[in-house]
Amino acid sequence: MTIESLSMAKALTAGLRAAMTADPKVILMGEDIGPLGGVFRVTEGLHAEFGGNRVMDTPLAESGIVGTAIGLAMRGYRPVVEIQFDGFIFPAFDQITTQLAKLTLRHEGRQTFPVVIRVPFGGHIGAIEHHQESPESYFAHTPGLRVISPSNPHDAYWMIQEAIASNDPVMFFEPKSRYWPKGDVDLSASGWPTYASRVVREGTDVTLVGYGPMVSMLLQAADVAAEEGTSAEVIDLRSLSPIDYAPLLASVQKTGRIVVASEAPGSVSVASEIAATIAERAFYSLEAPVLRVTGFDTPFPPAKLETKYLPDVDRILEAVDRSLAY
Amino acid sequence: MSYTDATIQVLSPEGTIVENDTTAPYLPLVTKLSDAELQEMHRQMVVIRRFDIEAANLQRQGQLALWIPSLGQEAAQVGSGTATRPQDHIFPAYREHVIARMRGVDLIKIIEMLRGLTHGGWDPKASNNFHLYSVVLASQALHSTGYAMGLTLDGVTATGNPEKDEAVIVYFGDGASSQGDASEALVFAASYNTPQVFFLQNNHWAISVPVTRQSRTPLYKRPSGFGIPGVQIDGNDVLASYAVTRTVLDEARAGQGPRFIEALTYRMGAHTTSDDPTKYRDDSELDFWTAHDPIQRFDTFLRAKGAEQSFFDSIAEEGEDLAADIRARTLTLGVPQTSEIFDHVYTEAHTLMDEQSAWLAAFEASFEGSGA
Strand partners, A209: A235, A260
How far is Cα A220 from Cα B113, in angstroms, rounded to an integer?
54
How far is Cα B356 from Cα B367, in angstroms, rounded to an integer?
17
pLDDT of residue B2: 79
Domain ranges of chain A: 7-186, 198-324
Is B181 within 8 Å of chain A by CB? yes
Across the interface, of B121, B131, B348, the residue whose CB is closest to A168 is B348
Average pLDDT over every residue of B24-46: 98
Is A229 within 8 Å of chain B by CB? no
Predicted confidence (pLDDT) per residue in B331-355, tens digit? 999 999 999 999 999 999 999 999 9
Average pLDDT over every residue of B184-206: 97
Confidence band for B368, pLDDT divided at 50, 70 and 90: confident
Backbone angles phi and psi of A59, in degrees to 5: -60, 160
Same fold flag, A7-186 and A198-324: yes
Question: Which of helix, strand or coil describes residue A147?
Answer: strand
Strand partners, B197: B169, B259
Q: Residues B138, B185: contact at Cβ < 8 Å?
A: yes
pTM (two decimals): 0.97
Distance from the Cα of B120 to chain A's closest Cα (Å) equals 5
CB within 8 Å of chain B, chain A residues 20-49: 27
Average pLDDT, chain B: 96
Best CA proximity match to A201, nearest among A190, A209, A193, A189:
A209
CA closest to B121 among chain A residues? A107
The stretches in chain A having pLDDT less than 70 are: none
Distance from the Cα of A82 to chain B's closest Cα (Å) equals 16
Pick the CATH number of A198-324 from 3.90.1010.10, 3.40.50.920, 1.10.760.10, 3.30.930.10: 3.40.50.920
What is the identity of the amino acid at A236?
D
Best CA proximity match to B78, nearest among B45, B30, B127:
B45
Best CA proximity match to A43, nearest among A53, A56, A61:
A56
Distance from the Cα of B141 to chain A's closest Cα (Å) equals 8
* B2 exposure class (CB count in 10 Å sphere: 0-12, 13-18, 19+): exposed
How far is Cα B63 from Cα A253, in angstroms, rounded to an integer?
54
pLDDT of residue B372: 52
Predicted confidence (pLDDT) per residue in A158-200, tens digit? 999 999 999 999 999 999 999 999 999 999 998 899 999 999 9
Q: Cβ separation of B346 and A146 shorter than 8 Å?
A: yes
Distance from the Cα of A84 to chain B's closest Cα (Å) equals 18
| Topology of the domain comprising B27-331 | Rossmann fold (3.40.50)
If phi > 0 it is left, if psi is from -120 to 50 it is alpha, else beta; for residue B190 that is alpha
According to the 3-state scheme, what is the secondary structure of A114-139?
Answer: CCEEEEEECCCCCCCCCCCCCCHHHH
Beta strands in chain A (DSSP E): 3-7, 26-30, 55-57, 78-82, 116-121, 146-148, 170-175, 182-186, 198-201, 206-210, 232-236, 239-241, 258-265, 291-295
Predicted confidence (pLDDT) per residue in A47-62, tens digit? 999 999 999 999 999 9
Domain ranges of chain B: 27-331, 337-372
Across the interface, of A27, A95, A166, the residue whose CB is closest to B348 is A166
Is A139 within 8 Å of chain B by CB? no
Best CA proximity match to A201, nearest among A231, A180, A179:
A231
Q: Cβ separation of B184 and A64 shorter than 8 Å?
A: yes
Predicted confidence (pLDDT) per residue in B136-190, tens digit? 999 999 999 999 999 999 999 999 999 999 999 999 999 999 999 999 999 999 9
Backbone angles phi and psi of A164, in degrees to 5: -65, -35
Cα A178–chain centre separation: 11
What is the identity of the amino acid at B279?
K
DSSP state string for A154-176: HHHHHHHHHHHH-SS-EEEEEEG
Is B129 within 8 Å of chain A by CB? no
How many residues are recorded in chain A? 326
Predicted confidence (pLDDT) per residue in A225-240, tens digit? 999 999 999 999 999 9
pLDDT exceeds 60 at position B57: yes
Q: Cβ separation of B181 and A99 shorter than 8 Å?
A: no
pLDDT exceeds 70 at position B1: no
> What's domain A7-186's architecture?
3-Layer(aba) Sandwich (3.40)
Cα B300–chain centre separation: 24
Dihedral of alpha carbons A271, A272, A278, A281, sign: negative
pLDDT of residue B371: 63
pLDDT exceeds 90 at position B274: no
How far is Cα B92 from Cα B82, in angstroms, rounded to an integer?
14
Q: Cβ separation of A107 and B120 shorter than 8 Å?
A: yes
